[in-house]
Structure 1
Amino acid sequence: MKSIKDYVSLEQEFYSNVLKNKDELYDSQFNEEILKGISNIVIFATGSSSNAAYSALPFMSKTTGLPIYIEEPSIAANYLLNFNDDTLYLAITQGGHSYSIINLVEKFEKNGKKIFTLTSDDSSPAYEVSDNVLSMGMPIEEMPYVSAGYSVTILDLFLISMRIGNILGNLSDREESDFLADISGIINKIPDIIDRSNKWIEDNINIFQDAKRLVWIGYGSTYGVSREGETKITETVGISSWGKELEEYMHGPYLGLHEDDLIIFIDPNGTLEDRVDRLHEFLELHVDNVYVINSVNKKHEKDLDLNVTCNELLASLYMTIPVHLLSFELSQRKGNDLEKSAYPEFDKITKSKI
């Protein structure tokens, strides 16, 4: 079975294949008739799929020109199930076995309402119950803890949003072409990003492995990355981890600061870079270990500079690479076996996966 590290190394290949096949994957699914009268988009997702949706959200908003909302499928299905004809609905389940997504899609189909399901497994229960399936364009990720699937979901959402934005007249052919060129440039840099990330982890692993709580702080497209950091560290390492939006952390959670916290900013060097600098200055007064993962412009000795210059809305395509690699390395230091679930009886009892 491949490891998280193996799947991170496959992201360049997976991205390239999705980009090459984008017309086949999404062009026939979205057209003027489907999008007629659409005024907003609702995405249903949970776990890493939800993290990926938040990572894609700013770019999707920019390219579609539409309000976009992300909702938990269980809450929606049980308490908020209102169908609107002017809403484009999208459900994400990478493996296709999520009970909450399957239950939600079944309720949509039962009521004769259209919902698109994005998944990687064409033999999964989600695929079978869905009338409108969107392929992720990658093989099934044979790991209990997804990494490449999270990343490819972001690219899928980028391409879907560009298709929608172009049809609606909110994204010109030139703008779409420019974004695609930028994405291709990022894909070409992935091997270097992996090398830089591994070196940074190796240099700091002795400090990272002693962390009792790890706090990730992001903004814009890296808010979803910070959420993924919380998810992956909690899942694979088994220590307390938070993933916070920059201003959210500054509006209360900082008061729960511990001097032995390990804090990592994920800064795409974008609109709120100055706010990161201010919070970093404060945190260094109270915490020994504060790090920044930058797209460019390394400012502190402990920072990781990924050396990628691009629109900050695209940063989530590559800034999760060090996050996933760190979760893997820490899990191995802890002696955790990631090839099997830590609690194999969980799904059997709770039926969270079908």
Structure 2
Amino acid sequence: MVTMLDYINEEEDTLLKILENHTLKEDENLAKIEHLMILATGSSYNACLSAKMFLEKYGDLVVTIEEPYNFNHYGKLVPSVDAVVAVSQSGKSASTIDAIAKIKDQNVFHMALTSDLNSPISKVVDQVIDLQMGIEKVGFVTKGFVSTVLQMMLLGITIGFSKQKLSEKEVNEAKGQLKQVIQQIPEVINKSQNFFNNHQPIFKLGQRFIAIGYGPAWGTAKEFETKFTETVRKPSHGFELEAYMHGPYLEADTQHILFFIENESINSKRSEALRSYMFIYVGDVFTITTKKAEANNTLGLEINCPEWIAPLVLIIPFQIFAFQTALSKGIDLNVRIFDDFDTVLKSKI
């Protein structure tokens, strides 16, 4: 039976194929985009949040991310929005399809990013972007998450090139950086597994898990929240660095395990200061960083890349931790729970 771990181990090959298949071409519809609205929920939302900085930087545009159900019932299309991309790995998300229908008659360009080109969402948009990672049969999305991050990054590159804001040389340089990071995924997986093995008793006994990130790593923290909630099934939360410092820290106690997600940034010093402060108030503090490890409680990936690319690999340790922590707690992820959920709640078409 296929597991989360199987899909995690396929991530390098999948991402390299996506990168190799990316065709650089000018698109007149993309060239017009100044304000892009993304409709996504769950892991798709987290992936888009992870790619937002890259997308805005290379696409030279403004990006807004909306939860489709809330947008459909309470939202309003901002006049400056000139394009919408709906992200649904299965292509069957009812709320996302309904949100597209709400704005279908407005003068905006509609796209969908999905794994199933024959899915319901593919039939209600102007252009479909193939996620190019097949159908992920395990409900706890891993390969689909990183594929979405990369596809959104490549969309940013294509938009920038179509707008003539990026030269072919700059595009190739950006794709070269992406490739270098992707090729380090096997080593990231290996380091993450070793780190888990060294700290397994802490993960096994953990009752409250919190991740804190800044910039694009906020998306990583939110995906940590999603994965740990789905698999470990203990209270788990992902916070943006400054948001954690405005109230949530007040619940900290010795049952809390904190993960600080760090990379090269002007915000790294602030994260380090918070980490040092919280150390004496919680059970354990771990750091996941793109830099070299300087302590036993730090997982150093030693990857030299700008922070807007780092989300491609920073999530992988948490995917490993989620899978292995669930196993250590005796949770069989192959046993489906709430099997009638989608049918009763009509969350999927």
How big is the alpha-carbon RMSD for the aligned residues of Structure 1 and Structure 2?
Answer: 1.7
State whether residues 144 and 340 of structure 1, in contact with CA within 8 Å, keep that contact through their aligned partners in structure 2: no
Q: Classify the secondary structure of the residue corresponding to 2:109.
A: coil
Q: In structure 1, what is the equivalent of residue 12 of structure 2?
A: 12
Residue by residue, what CA displacement relative to the aligned partner does 1:9-52 show, whole Å, maximum 9, x if unpaired? 000111011011111xx74xx61x31454321111100000000
Summarize the Cα distance change of 1:160–1:340 in structure 2 as closer, same or farther, 3 Å threshold.
Answer: farther
CA distance in 2, matches of 1:78, 1:40: 21
Q: In structure 1, what is the equivalent of residue 187 of structure 2?
A: 192
Summarize the Cα distance change of 1:114–1:278 in structure 2 as closer, same or farther, 3 Å threshold.
Answer: same
State whether residues 34 and 60 of structure 2, in contact with CA within 8 Å, keep that contact through their aligned partners in structure 1: no
Of 33, 42, 45, the residue aligned with 1:47 is 42
Summarize the Cα distance change of 1:108–1:199 in structure 2 as closer, same or farther, 3 Å threshold.
Answer: same
CA distance in 1, matches of 2:297, 2:20: 37
Aligned: 1:343 with 2:338: yes
Task: Report the TM-score when normalising by structure 2.
Answer: 0.95
Shift of the alpha carbon at 1:99? 1.1
Q: 1:1-354 counterparts in 2 under 5 A?
A: 1-23=1-23, 27=25, 31=27, 33-35=28-30, 37-82=32-77, 84=79, 86-109=81-104, 113-354=108-349
State whether residues 109 and 131 of structure 1, in contact with CA within 8 Å, keep that contact through their aligned partners in structure 2: no
Q: Classify the secondary structure of the residue corresponding to 2:309.
A: helix
Summarize the Cα distance change of 1:115–1:340 in structure 2 as closer, same or farther, 3 Å threshold.
Answer: farther
CA distance in 2, matches of 1:109, 1:69: 18
CA distance in 1, matches of 2:107, 2:331: 45
CA distance in 2, matches of 1:231, 1:154: 16
Q: Classify the secondary structure of the residue corresponding to 1:145.
A: coil
Summarize the Cα distance change of 1:9–1:109 in structure 2 as closer, same or farther, 3 Å threshold.
Answer: same
The farther-off stretch of 108-117 and 142-151 is: 108-117
CA distance in 2, matches of 1:108, 1:185: 39
State whether residues 121 and 140 of structure 1, in contact with CA within 8 Å, keep that contact through their aligned partners in structure 2: yes
Alignment-mate amino acid for residue 41 of structure 2: T
Alignment-mate amino acid for residue 69 of structure 1: T
Q: Classify the secondary structure of the residue corresponding to 1:319.
A: helix
Could you tell me the percent identity over the aligned residues? 33
Summarize the Cα distance change of 1:104–1:331 in structure 2 as closer, same or farther, 3 Å threshold.
Answer: same
Q: Classify the secondary structure of the residue corresponding to 2:38.
A: strand
Alignment-mate amino acid for residue 351 of structure 1: K
Residue by residue, what CA displacement relative to the aligned partner does 1:301-334 show, whole Å, maximum 9, x if unpaired? 2100111111111000011111001100111122
Shift of the alpha carbon at 1:352? 0.9
Residue by residue, what CA displacement relative to the aligned partner does 1:198-245 show, whole Å, maximum 9, x if unpaired? 000111111011111100011111110100000000011110001001
Alignment-mate amino acid for residue 282 of structure 2: V
CA distance in 1, matches of 2:347, 2:289: 36
Q: Between Structure 1 and Structure 2, how many residues are aligned? A: 349
State whether residues 68 and 96 of structure 2, in contact with CA within 8 Å, keep that contact through their aligned partners in structure 1: yes
Shift of the alpha carbon at 1:298? 1.7
Shift of the alpha carbon at 1:61? 1.4
Residue by residue, what CA displacement relative to the aligned partner does 1:94-116 show, whole Å, maximum 9, x if unpaired? 11121111112233335575310
Task: Report the TM-score when normalising by structure 1.
Answer: 0.94
State whether residues 296 and 309 of structure 1, in contact with CA within 8 Å, keep that contact through their aligned partners in structure 2: yes
State whether residues 32 and 163 of structure 2, in contact with CA within 8 Å, keep that contact through their aligned partners in structure 1: no
The farther-off stretch of 329-338 and 317-326 is: 329-338
Unaligned ranges ≥5, structure 1: none
The farther-off stretch of 121-130 and 266-275 is: 121-130
